[in-house]
Structure 1
Amino acid sequence: MERIKILFIMQSFQGGGAERVTLDLINHLDRKVYEPSILVVNCFGELVPSIPRDLTIIEVLSKNEKMITHPIKVISAVIKAAREVDLIFGTLEMTPTYLASIASIITKKQAIGWIHTDVREYPKTNHLVHKFLIRTLYKRLKAIIAVSEGAKVSFEKMFPQIKVPVVRIYNPIRLDDIYKMAPEENDVEDTEPIIIGIGRLSEVKGFDHLIKAHHYLVKKGVKNKLLILGEGSQRKELEALILDLGVEESVTLKGFVENPYKYLRSASVFVLSSRYEGFSVVIAEALSLGIPVVSSNCHSGPSEILEDGKYGSLTPIGDYEALAIKIMETLHSVDLENNRKERIKRGQDFSLQKIIPEFERLFFLVLHNRQI
């Protein structure tokens, strides 16, 4: 039987959650059934070593070239690649999905888009140009995947005129890799409770609130160390805040790490301080290791994973004092170990083995023009 060829369109291989999940999905598709390939607009990023070796990679622009100055080059490459496949998959909102839609219009191949964020909160989707492009191009897709029910509802409310089916498929987590990589040795000194945050150093992730919450705890006499894993444009701003608050001895910005799980397993509490999210792979990963979770109550993602507080604590967005108090309560909770098995079981609900079949079912429905 001839394999189904799927073209995955990516912006880059930077170390974001969406890019990592895309590679995980590709890596775990049944190669007896599917023949995936990747077209990447800018081929750079920390995740390049994670690219499956059996893939065809189509590189379009150099790291320093921008699509805005080379649109014809990019669109031409996408159309050429799309002619050779059965299905086109825009793996991120906006640019990759715009390209998937354009290729679909020209080649008559079916295309799917993927929403990883709360579009009503995401600044770029509120720009007039992007609103126009989404309204124009997304309606030509066969289906749209949303990473959470909240992200799905957000999109449907913001773009009610787009009648394309929006399907909620949670982001999967790679449990086998997590359990294999977590026991590796780390350089964490756990003489005091360890609070860990993970994500790109950007405003949306709210690490400024997390650092302020840590400072609040220190002032209250709650001993703890804060470790933040990830790299990004806000590093200098966060470093200045750390110095301004005088917590440079107890806060570490570790940068991007190949194996975050060896640090995560040492956490007394994992904290998500985001201003908004689409899903939050790191919450699911923390739960799978049994780590207690405190999260800001974003409009989508965290509350679904934590089932409105059943598996972790939720706090108002941007309220660092409330965040600190929940962290303190979690550190002092007597039920943490008793609830460990429940957290692990909840994390396993998002395993690749459970989620990948949902993608494969959607691929089948799209390719065979079945009702979605």
Structure 2
Amino acid sequence: MLVPRQVDPPETPAKTRVLFTLVFLGSGGIERSVCNVLAGLNPGRFATKMFFHHRPHPKSQQDRIPQHTEVVWGTDAFVYHRKMLPRFFWRLIQEARQADVIVAGQEGRAALLACLAGKLLGKPVVGMIHFDWGAFSREQPRRQLWGLRLLYPRMRRIVACGHDSAKAFQALVPVRPEQLEVIPNFVDGDKVRVAGEAPLPDWAVPIYQKPVVIAVGRLENQKAFDVLIRSHSLLRASGLDHHLLILGEGSLQAELEALVKSLGVESSVFMPGFTPNPHALMRRAAAFALSSRFEGLPMVLLEALALGCPVVSTDCPSGPAELLEHGRHGVMVPMEDPKALADALGRIMDDEAYRQDLSQRAHRRSEELSADRALRAWESLLSTV
């Protein structure tokens, strides 16, 4: 009598263990872009972990990190001090031992420690580039540029957030062409639009009794909110009654508030700081303004397009021209030109048909920017690196 041979079930392929590193979980575009990648990776193929140098702040919206991603950190402190560096690094080494791939989620200290850990452990490191470093390096200490040139050529792969950012990076850092890959930033448009349907917070209801120009970003020189405030003052002087709402925190808060006061527009400019759900405010705005001096591939602009916000953006190095296709899907104006910015915003608020047309163009562009394509590229890279 023949006995049937036992056939072992096929083994389930082991998941690729990926450790993403960030300094902390802030509210900026870098953190949002990393969280979007984490949320989109197939949990059946990838075991993901997020390492922060600092404990996430209670206000940091940890719910943006998907539940299937484990979160660990190097210290319980919220504020960085150089004496903490060995502690961060030792904790990172412990976590990196268990990983197949280390992803430096941002430039600077996160990239430095990730690169050192990868070298010591023999693990491949993938670096992420979020800025146009040709412009950004002019605002940074020289050691930042030296760090780029020292660290990134030693990484296995480098992912730039856009084609313009990749070109600027290649002009500064000697990396091999096969090391550098462009995987554009992306957003989950459906999720952004659901958040946009939430009611306005109580404090914002009086602000929206008039047309609102909205801007979102860190209160730093890069974002050029000083130019935007000057354009708002010009519009108010021309007789266009409206409000300017700037969402974000940063080192220039007091300086920008002083500028508002000097221009006499205290009653029409609002800077409430961090806002948990900016999308509800963006969706109801008459126009979204991006006044930056440089960018990478700005997440907030992708979110504005998904919400159908009529967009006015400066034609700054890297990002906006790539996303808006040089003005096909929004209005582009020169940098450092409050009058041009005021004229573009004024036309949107004055002309309902024009505003609706820009809103429809924004929606169409958002549909063209596929998250699926970017996630397939990420999964392919992490599987083969």
TM-score with structure 1 setting the length: 0.92
SS at match of 2:73: strand
The CA deviation string for residues 308-364 of structure 1, in whole angstroms up to 9 with x for no partner, is 011111111111111111111232343332343332021133353342222112212
Give the match for residue 188 of structure 1: 205
Number of equivalent positions:
366
Question: Structure 2: which 5+ residue stretches go unaligned?
Answer: 1-12
Mark the structure with the bigger radius of gyration.
2
- Where 2:133 maps in the other structure, the secondary structure is coil
Q: Is the 8 A contact 1:4 1:86 kept in 2?
A: yes
Aligned to 1:308: 326
Number of the residue aligned with 1:19: 31
Contact 2:212 2:286 in 1 (8 A): yes
Return the letter of the residue paired with 1:170.
P
Q: Residues of 1 paired with 2:37 and 2:293: CA distance?
A: 26
Greater Cα shift, 139-148 or 125-134: 125-134
Aligned AA for 1:103? A
Distance in 2 between residues matched to 1:241 and 1:132, nearest whole Å = 35
Deviation for aligned residue 1:92: 0.4
Structure-1 separation of matches of 2:248 and 2:205: 16
Residue from 31, 47, 57 that aligns with 1:35 = 47
- CA gap of 1:47–1:268, structure 2 versus 1, over 3 A, is same
Displacement of 1:275: 1.2
Query: Percentage identity across aligned positions?
Result: 30
Farther-moved stretch of structure 1 (195-204 vs 44-53): 44-53
Task: Name stretches of at least 5 consecutive residues in structure 1 with no aligned partner.
Answer: 367-372
Q: Which residue number corresponds to residue 286 of structure 1? A: 304
**What residue is the counterpart of 1:118 in the other structure?**
132
1:159/1:244 Cα in 2 relative to 1: closer, same or farther (>3 Å)? same
1:230 and 2:244 are equivalent in the alignment: no
Counterpart of 1:179?
193
* Distance in 2 separating the partners of 1:16 and 1:230: 9
- 4+ residue segments displaced more than 6 Å: none
After the TM superposition, which residues 248-287 of structure 1 pair with which residues of structure 2 at under 5 Å, given as runs? 248-287=266-305
Q: Choose the corresponding residue for 1:318, options 310, 313, 336.
A: 336
Whole-Å separation in 2 of the counterparts to 1:170 and 1:212: 32
TM-score normalized by the length of structure 2: 0.89
Q: How many angstroms does 1:139 deviate by?
A: 1.3
Match of 1:350 among 350, 369, 374: 369
Query: Which residues in structure 2 correspond to 1:1-372 (within 5 Å)?
Result: 1-45=13-57, 46-63=60-77, 66=80, 68-123=82-137, 126-160=140-174, 165-186=179-200, 187-189=204-206, 190-333=208-351, 334-366=353-385
Deviation at 1:52, TM superposition (A): 2.9
Between the aligned partners of 1:209 and 1:338, the Cα distance in structure 2 is 26
Q: 2:4 is matched with which residue?
A: none
User: In 2, Cα distance between the equivalents of 1:298 and 1:124?
Assistant: 14
CA–CA distance in 1 between the matches of 2:142 and 2:209? Answer: 52
Distance in 1 between residues matched to 2:383 and 2:123, nearest whole Å: 14
Q: Cα RMSD over matched residues? A: 1.9
Structure 2 match to 1:370: none
Quick check: which one's helix share is greater? Answer: 2
Distance 1:239 1:127 in 2: 27
